[in-house]
Amino acid sequence: MRSLLIYLRNYRKETVLAPLFKLLEVVFELIVPLVMAHLIDAGIIGHDEKTILAMGGLLALLAFVGLVSAITAQFFAARAAVGFAAEVRMALFEKIERFSFTQLDTIGTRTLTTRLTSDVNQAQNGVNMVLRLILRSPFVVVGATIMAFTVDARAALIFVAVIPVLSLIVFLIMRKTAPLYKAAQGKLDEVLLHTRENLVGARVIRAFNRQEAERAGFDAAADAYTHTQQVTGAVSGLLNPLTQVVVNTGILILILAGAFRVETGNLTQGQMVALLNYMSQILIELVKFANLIVTISRASASGDRIAAVLAVETEEETEDAVQDRDADAAVVFDHVSLRYAGAGAEALHDITFTAHKGETIGIIGGTGSGKSSLVHLIPRFYDATEGSVRVFGEDVKDLRRDGLRRRIGMVFQKAELFSGSIRENLRFGMKEAPSGNEGGAADGIPEEALIREALEASQSAEFVDAKPGGIEFALAQGARNLSGGQKQRLSIARALMRRPDILILDDAASALDFATDLKLRTAIRKMSGQMTIFIVSQRVPSVRFADRILVLDRGRLVAQGKHEELIETCEVYREIYYSQFPEGMDADASEAVS
C-alpha cells in the first residue's frame, strides 16, 4: 500500500489541510468538558446567571467552529481520496494496456477487473478515512488523558490504565484481520469469474440447459466468499464490544472513585462531569478508531493487490519504427518455436518460411495445429521462445510494439466491435485518427474515401448503406445489433482503413458464405498492391488461390506450396481438401454454385 502513496503527490495541500482541520476540531472538543465543569460549578451550583449565559454562548461558539472545521476537513479528505483513486485507476489501466498477451493470460482478466474496481474503491475509502481519523483519534485519546490530569491527577490514573489495554486489543485484531481481508478479495475474484462467464456465455448455457450446474458453481464461489467475509467480520466485530467493555469498566471505576472524592470534597461535581466527558470522548474515538482499523485493513489488502499488478515488469522497447532493411522479405520465420506460459508442450515447433512483399500466404491446418499462434507472433502478441521472427529485416523483439503494429492490420477470429457509430469503429484502424469526425487523411487519402474503399472491399457497403444514418449508425455494446457476418466484415473494413503493409485475416471470414468470401478475397487482392496478406482458415476455398499455402499439423510446418502441388504431395492438405470436397466435386464448381 505504501508504494501507492506517490499518487497523492498532486494532493499534498489536501493531505495536510484535512488532518489540520480535524485537529482544530479536536481542540475545540477537548475544551468543551472544561467549559461544562465551570458552567456547573460556578454557574449552576453558584446560581450565577451571567456565567451560565456566557458559558452557554461559548459552548455554542465551540460547536459552530468545530462543525465548520469538520466540514472543511471532510472536503479536503474527499478531494484527496477521489483524486488518489482516479490516478491509481489510470496508472493501473495504463499498466494493463502495456501487458503482453502472456502476462494477461497469466494474471487473468477476472482479477484485473476486480483490482480496477473493488480494490481501488477500498483504497480510496482507506485514504479518506485515514486523512479524517488517523490523527484525530489518537489526538483525542492522548489529549483527553492530558486534560484529565489537569482536572484531577489521581482520577486520571484510570485513563493511564485503560489506554494500553485498548491499544493491545486494537493491535491484535488488526494483525488478525489484515490477511483475512486479502483472502476475501481473492474469493471475490472467483465470484467475478463465474459472473463474467455466465453473462458472456448465457446463450451457450441455456442451449445446453446448464443453468442449474452453473448456478451451483456460482453458489459455491459465493458461499466461499461469504464464509471468508463472515470469519473476517466475526474477528473484526470483536473490536467494538471489547473496547466498549474496557472503556465502560474504566467509567464504572471512575464513577466509584469519583463519587467518594466528591463526597469528601476533594473533587467538585463539575470536575466529575468533565472527567466522565473525557472518558466518553475516549470511548467514542476508540469506536471510530476500531472502524478505521477495519477500513485500513481492507484498504491495505486491496492496495497490496494493486501494487502487485503495478510492480509487474513490462518489456522495455527500443526502436521507434520498422525500417525496411530487407527490400523484398516482409516476414521471415527462422526456426521459430513457441511454448505458452505454463503449457506442457510447444504450440509451434521449428517453423521456417519467408513471406515476400505483395505475396498472399494461406495458412491451413486442423483445429489446434497452431495457425493462430503463428500469426500472433508477427505483431508480437507473443514472443517466440526459440528462433526469430523478422519483419522487413528487423527482429520483432528489437522493435517497439506500437511502431510495429502501425504497419499491420489484424482481424481476429472473434469479431470485436465497440459501442459507438460505425464510423468511430472504422476509425480505430486509421494510423492517425483525428479527434473530430470531419477531415483527416491517411497516406494522403481523405477519410471519407478511405471509409468507402474499406466498406466496398470488405463487402460491408451494402448493409451499412441500408442502416439508418449509414456509417453514423450506432452499434450496441459488442455490436449485438449486427449479425456475425456483418461484424466480421466491419472488422475487416477496420483493418483495411489502415492500408497496412501486412494484413492478417485470422479465420476472419468463418461466418461468411462462400460467395461473399470469394468476393471479399477478390476485392482485397485488387487493392493490395505491395500488401503482404496472411489468410488463416480451415476452409480450402479461402486459401486455394494464395501465392503460397502453409500446411500446419500439431504445431509443425509439414508442407508449403501452391494448391496443385499440395494436392499431389501433402497428405494432410489432401485430407483437409477431400473432407470438404469429396472426390469428383471441384472446389471451383462449388464456389461458382454459391
Q: Which of 151, 156, 136 is nearest to 33 (CA)?
A: 151
**Which pLDDT score is estimated for 481?**
87
Contact 192, 184 (CB under 8 A): no
- E-only strand ranges, 524-572: 532-536, 548-553, 556-561
Q: For the chain, report the end-to-end CA distance as a whole number of angstroms.
A: 62
Q: Please give the pLDDT value at position 326.
A: 56
CA–CA gap between residue 402 and residue 396 (Å, rounded)? 11
| 591 CB-near residues (< 8 Å, 6+ apart) | 514, 515, 518, 541
pLDDT of residue 438: 41
**Distance in angstroms (rounded) separating the CA atoms of residues 555 and 572:** 13
Which grid coordinates are listed for 265? 470534597
At which residue does the C-alpha cell 476540531 appear? 25
C-beta neighbour count of 208 within 10 angstroms: 11
Q: Can you identify the CATH homologous superfamily of domain 12-310?
A: ABC transporter type 1, transmembrane domain (1.20.1560.10)
* Under 8 Å between Cβ of 208 and 142: no
The strands making up 548-553's β-sheet, listed across from edge to edge, are: 408-411, 502-506, 532-536, 360-365, 548-553, 556-561
The cell numbers describing 522, all together, are: 477478390
DSSP notation for 260-315: HHHHTTSS-HHHHHHHHHHHHHHHHHHHHHHHHHHHHHHHHHHHHHHHHHHTSPPP
Residue type present at position 119: D
Contacts of 469 (CB under 8 A, 6+ apart): 421
pLDDT, position 362: 93
Residue 495 grid cell: 483493418
Contact 334, 390 (CB under 8 A): yes
Distance CA 409, CA 458 (A): 13
In the chain, what are the domain boundaries? 12-310, 322-407+501-594, 415-499
Residue 519: closest CA among 588, 456, 463: 456
CB 409 within 8 A of CB 375: no
**What does each C-alpha distance from 309 to 84, 87, 94 come to in angstroms?**
17, 15, 11
**C-beta separation of 546 from 362 below 8 A:** yes
Residues with Cβ within 8 Å of residue 294, at least 6 apart in sequence: 177, 236, 239
Q: Which residues pair with 536 in a beta bridge?
A: 363, 506
Which amino acid would we find at residue 540? V
Give the type of residue at 299: A
For domain 322-407+501-594, give the CATH superfamily: P-loop containing nucleotide triphosphate hydrolases (3.40.50.300)
* Multiple choice CATH, 415-499, 3.40.50.970, 3.40.50.11310, 3.30.365.10, 3.40.50.300: 3.40.50.300
pLDDT at 318: 52
In CATH terms, are 12-310 and 415-499 the same topology? no
Q: Kindly state the helix (H) or strand (E) to which residue 336 belongs, with its residue range.
A: strand 329-338
Nearest to 558 by CA among 579, 576, 542: 576
DSSP 383-435: --SEEEEEETTEEGGGB-HHHHHTTEEEE-SS----SEEHHHHHGGG-SS--S
**CB contact burial 243-266 (16+ within 10 A = b; e otherwise):** beebbeebbeebeebbeebeeeee
Residue pLDDT tens, the chain, 594 long: 678 888 888 998 999 999 899 888 888 888 888 888 888 878 788 778 888 888 889 889 988 998 999 899 999 999 999 999 999 999 999 888 888 788 887 887 778 888 888 889 989 998 998 888 877 878 888 888 888 888 777 777 887 788 788 778 877 877 787 778 778 877 887 887 788 788 777 878 888 888 888 888 889 988 988 988 888 888 877 877 887 788 788 778 878 877 777 777 777 888 888 888 887 787 777 777 777 877 887 788 888 888 888 888 876 555 555 565 556 889 999 999 999 887 778 899 999 999 999 899 999 998 889 999 999 999 988 889 999 999 988 898 888 888 888 889 899 888 888 888 999 988 887 765 443 444 444 556 788 888 898 899 899 999 999 999 899 999 988 888 888 889 999 999 999 888 888 999 998 887 788 888 888 888 888 876 788 999 999 888 889 889 999 999 999 999 999 999 999 999 999 999 988 877 645 555 445 444
Integer CA distances (angstroms), 541 to 294, 363, 370, 519, in order: 64, 12, 20, 12
- Residue 111 is placed in which grid cell? 482479477
Strand partners, 367: none
Q: Which residues lie below 8 Å from residue 44, measured CB to CB, with a gap of 6+?
A: 52
How many Å apart are CA 337 and CA 194, to the nearest integer? 34
Q: Is 370 helix (H, G, I), strand (E, B) or coil?
A: coil
**Paired sense of beta strands 441-442 and 445-446, if any:** antiparallel
DSSP state string for 54-79 = HHHHHHHHHHHHHHHHHHHHHHHHHH
